[in-house]
């Protein structure tokens, strides 16, 4: 079974802080994704990566950056956290493009 | 038109009922299709892939209609534990994955 592990289930940070969310997968998948999910809006793609050191913007990249230094790890960075970034953040990995994505448990991030 | 559309529901059905959800997609070049289940405050989990010939997994049947550009999920003999939100997913190709916003199902005793 694919295992996708996110570093924190719950996180509380203050406005203006730099926030790091980590995601690790154990299946040697090429593709990794970061989403946020808000009530009534569904899953929205922030960034994805299709290889080490490669990244592509998703639908809502503003205020975020990512890092993929190793194949198994994909980090999401909130450069200067704001209250409108309070959300559920979900990491996913995918083998090839026609395969399903597998999600981590999610991180509930609150920005105060 | 949205790339992927689902009826948000909620669908309230009694235990033992059969319920079906549809999901329409706009891009005829879409290549692969999936249904996910998401419980409240949890991550989406893969329920089943959807194959052109249709496929079944226990009480669940998934079908694809390329001509009309929709996929469907049929749940027979609904259980209380089936209560969740069901997301359809359409893959256009590498790195182009679109999630529906989900259909909420509530199975009532």
**B91 vs A97 pLDDT, higher one:** B91
Strands (E), B31-94: 32-38, 45-50, 55-57, 60-65, 70-75, 84-93
CA distance A34 to A47: 6
Helix H or strand E encompassing A93: strand A87-94
Give the per-residue pLDDT at B50.
Answer: 95
> What backbone torsions phi and psi does residue B40 show, to the nearest 5 degrees?
-55, 125
Contact B96 A97 (CB under 8 A): yes
Contact B32 A99 (CB under 8 A): yes
pLDDT for B94 beyond 90: no
pLDDT averaged over chain A? Answer: 94
Residue percentage of chain B with pLDDT more than 70: 98
pLDDT for B93 beyond 70: yes
The most confident of the ranges A19-23, A36-40, A42-46 is: A19-23
Contact residues, A window 81-100, toward B, CB-based 8 Å cutoff: 88, 90, 94, 96-100
Give the per-residue pLDDT at B21.
Answer: 93
pLDDT for B95 beyond 80: no
Give the per-residue pLDDT at A1.
Answer: 73
pLDDT for A12 beyond 80: yes
Instruction: Give me the residue label for tokens 């808000």.
Output: A38
Sort out which chain A residues have CB atoms less than 8 A from B31's CB and list them: 97-98
Select from A42, A50, A104 the Cβ nearest to the Cβ of B99: A42
* Close Cβ partners of A82 (under 8 Å, ≥ 6 residues apart): A15, A63, A111
User: Which residues on neighbouring strands pair with residue B20, listed in sequence order?
Assistant: B74
Sort out which chain A residues have CB atoms less than 8 A from B36's CB and list them: 100
CA distance B102 to A75: 27
Please report which confidence band the pLDDT of residue B12 belongs to, taking 50, 70 and 90 as the band edges.
very high
**B94 vs B21 pLDDT, higher one:** B21
Contact A98 B97 (CB under 8 A): no
In angstroms, the separation between the Cα of residue B46 and the nearest Cα of chain A is: 7
In angstroms, the separation between the Cα of residue B91 and the nearest Cα of chain A is: 6
Select from A43, A50, A108 the Cβ nearest to the Cβ of B95: A50
Q: Copy the structure tokens of residue A30.
A: 């090429």
Half-sphere exposure of A39 (CA within 13 A, CB side): 3
CA distance B43 to A8: 13
Please report which confidence band the pLDDT of residue A39 belongs to, taking 50, 70 and 90 as the band edges.
confident
* B24-63 pLDDT tens trace: 999 988 889 999 999 999 999 999 999 988 999 999 999 9
């Amino acid at each position: 079974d694919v295992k996708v592990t996110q570093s924190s289930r719950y996180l509380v940070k203050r406005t203006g802080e730099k926030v790091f969310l980590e995601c690790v997968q154990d299946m040697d998948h090429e593709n990794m994704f970061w989403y946020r999910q808000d009530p009534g809006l569904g899953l929205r793609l922030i960034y994805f990566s299709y290889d080490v050191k490669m990244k592509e913007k998703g639908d809502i990249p503003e205020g975020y950056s990512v890092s993929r230094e190793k194949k198994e790890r994909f980090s999401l960075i909130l450069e200067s956290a704001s209250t409108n970034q309070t959300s559920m953040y979900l990491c996913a990995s995918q083998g090839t493009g026609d395969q399903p994505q597998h999600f981590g448990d999610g991180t509930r991030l609150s920005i105060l | 038109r949205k790339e992927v559309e689902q009826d948000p529901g909620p669908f309230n059905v009694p235990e033992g009922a059969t319920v079906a959800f549809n999901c329409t997609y706009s891009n005829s070049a879409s290549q692969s299709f999936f249904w996910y289940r998401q419980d409240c405050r949890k991550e989406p989990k893969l329920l089943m892939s959807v194959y052109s010939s249709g496929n079944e997994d226990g009480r669940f049947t998934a079908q694809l209609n390329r001509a009309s550009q929709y996929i469907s999920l049929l749940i027979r003999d609904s259980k209380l534990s089936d209560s969740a939100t069901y997301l359809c997913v359409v893959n256009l190709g590498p790195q182009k994955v679109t999630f529906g916003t989900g259909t909420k199902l509530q199975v009532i005793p």
